[in-house]
Structure 1
């Protein structure tokens, strides 16, 4: 049932270049399908090097504005947690363990922070990866990037019944790997399942990808190719034969995606972009903000509406 809109009610979108996201066109279509009380989505753009005070001011603005229903956070998820987690009345276990906030919602005057990525990344993964793939093939996963998305994917993979034989997570800095290792320790991830590899150069990352078993999944969770140009790999990379290359982004310069497409025939590679991740990410947070239950059928209706403006 459609709620009666309140004057100036809106939802927020915290990112870097929110105006260029497809969600700005998609959100009003989804609002009609879901019967939301607003069709207005407001962008909160912050630079990649935003100061903690900027994150706190943004969270306080959302908290204190009665017409602001909540927000999705992208790119800045870990920084929002680091700078402003004390402003929230409640944080879910994923948010605390992964030190990130991707969904900001309100319940009875309380400000709630949740990390939805471990759920949404698994939904997106299941959209393209055959059931039982890892058990059937003995293949592995290489996650390029140990930030919020890489953390979420490694978390989700460790909880699957169909667990990869090995998960390798790479990062440019040791601090990111140490943080991720601690997240997994607190989570109770089986010892030895995940390897943490420092890749100081794209050539180092190439070597990790090339060493993965046939059929393995390689995911670009670095953020490169979206808000910042570039790829964690070089153009000389060779992917695991018969594997999957998953670009978490769906917009931007998408260098990783283009590298994978260039190798698709030679490496018998299936290349997947971030569109379904985008669909699941947004639909899950909208459901959180507006207290909705989404069935798979409703999600497919939302996906079809979004496809019309892709």
Structure 2
């Protein structure tokens, strides 16, 4: 690598083609420099037998198609770039570059999103988020009062006494949360994570909720998710799609959610931007699990839920599983349960 690239966590688009050094994996997101993935990445790469370097590429949420064109072209032009893990740009990358991929996996055709690119050979696009979630959901659905996903004990008043802002919410979420199987779900935000949830339920019907409401401020995003549901053959009687204009509308949907329920923050608020998709008047309760797909940031959503005695779960397990799914795709490795477990063990010492 050249001197300007050494020791940095980020690359600009115009630096990718000139990368020199270890084989490179890119991390394409919005605010990637603060991610713990940079710290645990060497251990993950070693599990796959790779001596990769990792660099983030930050693009704004509304990046134009030309930015994605430049990204893919630069990756394909440099034989030292093995691939990219894509977090916040899955749908936009697909729309901009679908005709620039040499091949795609079947999940890309179903979801029309991309969360990993392999570029050591032909440019191959993958959508592994649903696979990753299939390794996370059983831990939520199978939780008991003794804990979940290896995160320790859960008190009967778990969440009710959480204090200390984001740190307190993060500590409570780390303990896990009991979750019955016959849930009603409210998913706030309909980007890539919501798409992955819908597809994961299709592949694991035993984990599917009795009903699910997907809400977003963007009519086009709701239409896209409805189209995925149609292509996936999802039961329309169990699904509904709601446009919201602000956090107060989210509060109303939460009030109407049957209990027991799961409410998911899939908006990115609390990490990519400050705040929460709900107001401080949102009525959570002990019969709700609040699942924030963020694991870092101000985690306002979890603080709101904790203040009302709700059960809490953060996005740590999904974060780790997402990287496992994407990196195995780039490496051409089988995404086995053992690999997912090894990724989780390697990351555990870095958990906030």
Alignment TM-score, normalising by the size of structure 1:
0.89
1:45 maps to 58
2:346 maps to 305
Deviations 1:110-134 (A, max 9, x none): 1111111111122222222228xxx
1:290 maps to 331
Partner of 1:28, secondary structure, is helix
Mapped to 1, the partners of 2:285 and 2:220 lie a distance apart of: 28
Unmatched tracts of structure 2, length 5 or more:
1-19, 144-178
Partner of 1:20, secondary structure, is coil
Alignment TM-score, normalising by the size of structure 2:
0.79
2:90 maps to 77
1:161 maps to 205
Q: How does 1:132-143 map to 2 (within 5 A)?
A: 138-143=182-187
1:180 maps to 225
Say whether the 8 Å CA contact 1:150–1:222 is kept in structure 2.
no
2:35 maps to 21
Question: Over aligned residue pairs, what C-alpha RMSD do you find?
Answer: 2.1
Which of 99, 110, 115 is the matching residue for 1:86?
99
> Deviation of residue 7 (structure 1)?
5.0
Mapped to 2, the partners of 1:114 and 1:294 lie a distance apart of: 12
Say whether the 8 Å CA contact 2:118–2:125 is kept in structure 1.
yes
1:68 maps to 81
Partner of 1:94, secondary structure, is helix
Q: 1:80 to 1:129 in 2, by over 3 A?
A: same
> Deviation of residue 145 (structure 1)?
0.9
Mapped to 2, the partners of 1:299 and 1:159 lie a distance apart of: 18
Mapped to 1, the partners of 2:29 and 2:326 lie a distance apart of: 14
1:214 maps to 259
Mapped to 1, the partners of 2:300 and 2:213 lie a distance apart of: 21
1:35 maps to 49
Q: 1:18 to 1:136 in 2, by over 3 A?
A: closer
Mapped to 2, the partners of 1:158 and 1:204 lie a distance apart of: 28
Across the two proteins, how many residue pairs are aligned to each other?
A: 297
Mapped to 2, the partners of 1:97 and 1:32 lie a distance apart of: 32
